[in-house]
Structure 1
Amino acid sequence: MKPRTILSPLVLAAGLLFYSVGCTDLTDTVDSQVTAETFFQNDQQFVSAMGDAYSRLTALGGGGSPAQFNEATTDEIIVPARGQDWSEGGFWYRVNSHSWTEADGTFNGFWNTYFSGINNANRLIFQFESAVESGAADPALAETFISELVAMRAFYYFWLLDAFGNVPIVTSFVDAEEKPSQPSSDFAEGRRMVFQFVEKELLDNVGNLSTDTRGTYGRMNQYVARMTLAKLYMNAEVYTGTGRWGDALTQLNEIINSGQYSLAANYHDNFAVQNDGSPENIFVVPYDKVFLTGLNLHQMTLHYGSQNTYNFQFQPWNGWSATQKMYESVIDPMQNPGPQGEVWGSEPTSDDAGLERVMGTLDDRLGNFLVGPQYTSGGERITDSGIYSDFDRNGPLLTFTPAMNDLEAVACRQCGARIGKYAFENGIGSSGSNDFVIYRYADVLLLKAEALWRMNAGSAEALALVNQIRMRSGVDPFMSLDADKLIGERGRELFWEQTRRQDLIRFAGVEGGETRYNDPWQFKPISESWRNVAPIPRNQLEANSNLVQNPGY
């Protein structure tokens, strides 16, 4: 468990800051025991009342809809069907191969997750404003917290903009329409209007937000809002047709010049079990295996037999893996120049090790992947008799191999580099205690480098920023920058931080796709550009006749 000093801001939020269940009906009536007569008299009472505004963030650390769309549809992650496990009616095949439909549940889950957050924020804004209007709360005291809620609502809308584009804008709790419409029946116009709404909400409120990074750990503060604006501007050309690189740079410089953040000396310290002290953390979900559960990466990615490696209370599910392409982007000296040494390769072998050894780049970030022979905590080789393919060349001995033979039912059970991004705590149950990173400082530096490069491809400052990130991981500096190096470095540094889809859609394609997201990779053909946004979920269309489906679906 985390030290009490880190939990305290969340415990103040009624012990349920993140775990209150929000509903998706935007017309719910107020049902709360919190009243102006008993609350809203001091900072702690405001904080403890606003937990529901953050409740939906717990969806980010598992394999729910945000990760399904932002990771499993990209060249980072693959979720193969191994026999009957993970087949799920072909769902994961459709996600990985860009053949999904509006009926696939991940999109309804994504929609409900973020609109639930918006509904919760609207309810709390209404309660806070009502307390001020009745004279029960000090307007000056309430102002900062109302701005925090408005900015948090804009954060949810930013992710809905990114995923769906043209979505209804609802800012009222009491007077919310039962069946709200999108801003426009025209997709491009509607998406621009949602962009403008998010931008205005953040700009209007950022100055009122706290700059106390420890006191607002895990909450919206000025730097979280500025990072959201920066990300909004970095993809402005995608969302609106007009690039806003200079505006992104302004927001990124505000974060950098604040002096609040710095790179951690060790890359993996950012993802340790006790990572709340990382100098890079800007916005996190502060999971705890007792008080705030939901971080179940170990169950999602590890093999059934890995239970005996880490003495987990429950057996993992043998699912999510890194793609061979992503793993090789780290060890390939052409893509990632640096010191060379013997590393695990990609292809399986028939010897006891079960995986080839090759010369490759010795990058500290190789620790993001679990590959090679697997052992129990007592040092014995783990075995798995469930073999579906001759691709598993070393038989029952369990060896994680980056190479994958199939996406559908005959995928071998040991294939796929497993996601080792967050340290696995020995003996845990279904949830870990690592804080899940939403925004961190390394991303700030890489985004600034990209913004500078897009305005001036020969920018020495951009090159220096990227090399600052590379040097931390012990690899050689680049001599120049291009699109391949920028998107490659973002992949290596930000693997499994749910940025990949958002990154790929702003880089032009190089293998026949309109963007890198539409380019082909293993098990995925060139995909249509309209798949760069999700469909309006069928469930929402059936419930609300005012909604218009996105183009292509």
Structure 2
Amino acid sequence: MKISFKYISYFFLFVLGLNMTLTSCTDDLNVTPKDDDEFLSETFYKDPASYKQVLAKLYAGLYVGGNDGDGSADISGIGGDFSSYLRLLFVTQEFPTDEAIIAWADGNLPSLNTQGWSPNNEFLYGTFSRAFYEISVANEFLRQTTDEKLTARGVDANLKAQIATFRAEARFLRAFSYYNLMDLFGNVPITTENDPVGFFYPEQRSRAEVFAFIESELKDLDSSLAASKTNEYGRVDKTAAKFLLAQIYLNSKVYTGTDRNNEAATVCKDIIDNSGYTFANIPYKNLFSADNNRNGAQNEFIFPVVSDGNAIRATGGGMSFILHASIGGSMDASAQGMNGGWAGIRVRKEFVALFPDVTATGDKRGTFYTNGQNLDIARVDIFTDGYASTKYTNVNSDGTAAQRNDIPDTDFPMYRLSDVYLMYAEATVRGAAAGNIPASVGYINQIRTRAGATTITASDLTLDFILNERGRELFWECHRRTDLIRFGKFTGGSKIWQWKGGTQGGSATDSYKDLMPIPTKTIQANPTLKQNPGY
């Protein structure tokens, strides 16, 4: 898909018919209207091409913050560069943990390094708003694609069949947003296509109710999403829904108070045995190179966030942010395929200690840049305090250059099969009757053999080992905060890292910070919302 779907995603003009200001590079599609009134939804949907354009808007929102990349933002009050979905997930899932720290002092960003955030944090507001923006786009698309409306517009049977799949993908992406809201903020409102358009206060639901809604949606989607491995690369299929289902089951104790590990193991085994996704027997570094959509890594990628240096003009969004911000000090940006670095993101001392060495000798996943970097982070605002990471690169796996050096081609692996292996093993160790210890050891050893690490035996397969292995395999893939909470090590004093709690040596933090606060601006807009305890 590296071209066809992507160009639809990023070079079209779409207006939802809600209160938004939208601009776009429209010459490519020649869809510039004469008057903004033509943006009304009914008019827009008369064009048969509009349906895939709206679906593309939903996927595009995972990478960019607005219709022209960094400039025209979807969300008021936070720039398009700061408000792309992937960037905000990285900020909330990585910076509060041992896996990452950022030097920048933008607004309230530093508080995410220390778990010192408040309800006034604009990055939490951006995360909350981005997820609900995606939900609103999905809801409107579902309202506009009922069989009744399609028939009234004279949509033919072939297009109707395509739209049925589009609707399923929109519902999945909506469930994905609800998952992130549930995971980060706990009790949040649920709105669907059945709710009225216009001003009303959606009812805040308990975390358990949001969980039940997501579970119901994902189970239902098994009958309508594209069969596994049959959709365009970059678009979701039945296996993506199963992955998310396994993920909520694995975290069910946190979200609902009820253990669902057996269901997690069952779903994971189904993915492993029946999905058609296969473990990528390629060098680990190639999973995160510029050609990871075609070098074999794609066989493992269940849900990638697609990047393209030519098609996606978003310097501050998605992988462009992750790559630029992780380059600084004496690092050669061109070695990473980039035109420069922003001297921001490093790893913390305690994360480095998860690896046998800092030279990627005993474990090829530990690709740290240490030249001129200090292991200890005496000052957060100095990039050379803390080792850098070269996990992601905008260079093809054969060493050739990517399309551009300002915006990368590297796709972000939101879901991949290795994570399914690790989830299965964890659910098994946690007592899932459907799990199997020897099989779990085999899956872990596939992962470790690819990494050039020593293999393990059943006696090594403990929860502590699995948490550490998840860190080694999945770091900077937006899982760490959720993982640490599930293991009871995010807040409190059982696991300490530098600058946790605001001190260089690290200190215990309050358990209420396992949930982010509902943003102040959100409560001002909907005063029926109740703030999370402790804030």
Common topology (TM > 0.5)? yes
Aligned to 2:32: none
Q: Is residue 416 of structure 2 the alignment partner of residue 465 of structure 1?
A: no
1:290 matches 2:307: no
The equivalent residue for 1:396 is none
Q: Is the 8 A contact 1:210 1:216 kept in 2?
A: no
CA distance in 2, matches of 1:310, 1:485: 33
8 Å contact from structure 2 (residues 336, 394) kept in 1:
no
1:371 maps to a residue whose letter is T
Change (3 A) 1:448 1:8: same
Structure 1's 534 and 38: CA in aligned 2 closer, same or farther, altered over 3 A?
Answer: same
CA pair 308-205 structure 1, distance change in 2 beyond 3 A: closer
Give 1:461's aligned amino acid. A
Report SS of the residue matched to 1:461. helix
**Structure 2 vs 1, CA of residues 460 and 448 (structure 1 numbering), >3 Å: closer, same or farther?**
same
Q: Secondary structure at the match of 1:468?
A: helix
For each residue in 1:280-313, what CA deviation from the matched residue of structure 2 results, as whole angstroms up to 9, or x when unmatched?
A: 1111111111102432223211116546644977
Which residue does the alignment assign to 2:419?
443
1:312-331 equivalence runs, <5 A: 314-331=339-356
**Matched position secondary structure for 2:421:** helix
CA contact (8 A) 1:161 1:195 kept: yes
The residue that corresponds to 2:169 in the other structure is 148
Q: 1:534 aligns with which of 512, 516, 519?
A: 516
Q: Which letter does structure 2 place at the counterpart of 1:474?
A: G
Work out whether 1:363 is the aligned partner of 2:363: yes
Could you tell me how far apart the structure 1 residues matched to 2:326 and 2:85 are? 10
1:339-391 superposed Cα distances (whole Å, 9 cap, x missing partner) = xxxx55xxxxxxxxxxxxxxx96211122x2222xxxxxxxxxxxxxxxxxxx
Distance 1:485 1:150, change over 3 A: same
CA distance in 1: counterparts of 2:491 and 2:513, whole angstroms:
16
* Cα pair 1:273 1:433 within 8 Å, conserved: yes
2:391 to 406, 413, 421: 421
Quick one: structure 1 residues 147 and 112, their matched pair in 2 at CA, closer, same or farther if it must change by over 3 Å?
Answer: same
Q: Select 1:101's aligned residue among 118, 124, 132.
A: 118
Task: Provide Cα deviations, 1:181-225, integer angstroms capped at 9, x if missing partner.
Answer: 4434xxxxx111111111111111222110252533212211111
- Give, as a single letter, the amino acid of the residue that structure 2 aligns with 1:551: P
- Residue 483 and residue 174 in structure 1: after superposition, are their counterparts in 2 closer, same or farther (change >3 A)? closer
Q: CA offsets per residue over residues 127-182 of structure 1, 9 Å max, x none?
A: 11153352623455533222221122111111111111111101037714624344
> 1:511 offset after TM fit, Å?
9.5
Matched AA of 1:449: A
Q: Is the 8 A contact 1:52 1:121 kept in 2?
A: no
CA contact (8 A) 1:363 1:473 kept: yes
Residue aligning to 2:4: 8
| Separation in 2, partners of 1:469, 1:88 | 38
Deviations 1:54-89 (A, max 9, x none): 232115988832111100011101123xxxxx2335
- 5 Å-filtered alignment, 1:387-398, equals none
- 1:47 aligned to 2:52? yes
Q: Residues of 2 paired with 1:61 and 1:204: CA distance?
A: 29
CA deviation vs aligned residue, 1:206-253 (integer Å, no higher than 9, x gap): 221102525332122111111111111110110000011121122212
Secondary structure in 2 matching 1:284 = strand
CA deviation after TM superposition for structure 1 residue 415, in Å: 2.2
Contact 1:170 1:180 (C-alpha < 8 Å) held by counterparts: no
Return the alpha-carbon distance in structure 1 between the equivalents of residues 239 and 425 of structure 2: 18
Q: 1:213 to 1:402 in 2, by over 3 A?
A: farther
Give the distance between the partners of 1:509 and 1:307, measured in 2 at CA.
Answer: 35
Name the SS for the 1:58 alignment partner: coil
- Residue 260 (structure 2) aligns with: 244
* Paired residues of 2:327 and 2:344 also in contact (CA < 8 A): yes
- What is the aligned-residue identity percentage? 29
Q: What secondary structure is seen at the aligned counterpart in 1 of 2:63?
A: helix
Partner deviation per Cα, 1:498-520 (whole Å, 9 max, x = no partner): 00011111113499547889987
TM-score of the superposed pair, with normalisation by structure 1: 0.78
- 1:405 matched to 2:378? The reply is yes
| Corresponding residue number in structure 2 for 1:87 | 105
SS of 1:331's equivalent in the other structure is: coil
> Counterparts of 2:496 and 2:181 in 1: how far apart (Å)?
21
Larger Rg: 1
Change (3 A) 1:240 1:462: same
**What is the distance in 2 between the residues matched to 1:450 and 1:430?**
39
Q: Cα 1:306–1:32, aligned 2, differ >3 Å: closer, same or farther?
A: farther
Could you say what secondary structure the match of 2:309 adopts? coil
1:64 counterpart SS class: helix
State how far apart, in whole Å, the 2-side matches of 1:483 and 1:308 are. 38
Structure 1 residues 298 and 145: alpha-carbon distance in aligned structure 2, compared to 1, 3 A threshold: closer
Equivalent residue number for residue 382 of structure 1: none
Q: TM-score, normalised by structure 2?
A: 0.80
Is this contact kept in 1: 2:496–2:507, CA < 8 A? Answer: no
The CA deviation at 1:401 is 3.1
Pairs aligned (count):
476
Matched, 1:271 2:288: yes
Change (3 A) 1:144 1:516: farther
**Among residues 196, 204, 223, which one is paired with 2:220 in the alignment?**
204
Q: Is it true that 1:126 corresponds to 2:143 in the alignment? A: yes
Which residue of the partner structure matches residue 56 of structure 1?
61
Return the alpha-carbon distance in structure 1 between the equivalents of residues 266 and 436 of structure 2: 20
CA contact (8 A) 2:518 2:531 kept: yes
| Secondary structure of 2:61's aligned partner | helix
SS in 2 for 1:366: coil
For 2:111 and 2:133, the matched residues in 1 are separated by: 26
| Structure 1 CA distance for aligned equivalents of residues 529 and 280 of structure 2 | 46
SS in structure 2 at match of 1:365? coil
The one of 115, 130, 154 aligned to 1:136: 154
Letter matched to residue 178 of structure 2: Y
Displacement of 1:531 in angstroms is: 0.7
C-alpha separation in 2, matches of 1:229 and 1:361: 36
Conservation of the 8 A alpha-carbon contact between 1:36 and 1:136? no
- Partners of 2:300 and 2:142 lie apart in 1 by 30
The CA distance in 2 between the partners of 1:323 and 1:96, in whole Å, is: 11
Unaligned ranges ≥5, structure 1: 81-85, 185-189, 333-342, 345-359, 373-398
Partner of residue 193 from structure 1, selected from 209, 214, 218: 209
Of 70, 75, 91, the match for 1:68? 91
CA distance in 2 between counterparts of 1:260 and 1:165 reads: 34
Instruction: Give the direction of change, closer, same or farther, for the CA distance of 1:524–1:202 in structure 2 (3 Å limit).
Output: same
Q: Residue 498 of structure 1: which of 478, 484, 494 is its match?
A: 478
Asked if structure 1 preserves the Cα contact closer than 8 Å seen for 2:422 and 2:470, the reply is yes
Decide whether aligned partners of structure 1 residues 113 and 14 sit closer, same or farther in structure 2, where only a CA change above 3 A counts.
closer
Of 304, 313, 326, 1:301 maps to 326
Measure how far apart 1:442 and its partner are: 0.5
CA distance, structure 2, for counterparts of residue 69 and residue 264 of structure 1? 28
The aligned runs of 1:482-497 (5 Å cut-off) are: 482-497=462-477
Q: CA 1:529/1:39 → structure 2, altered by over 3 Å: closer, same or farther?
A: same
Which residue of 2 is the match for residue 223 of structure 1? Answer: 239
Cα distance in 2, alignment partners of residues 62 and 145 from structure 1? 20
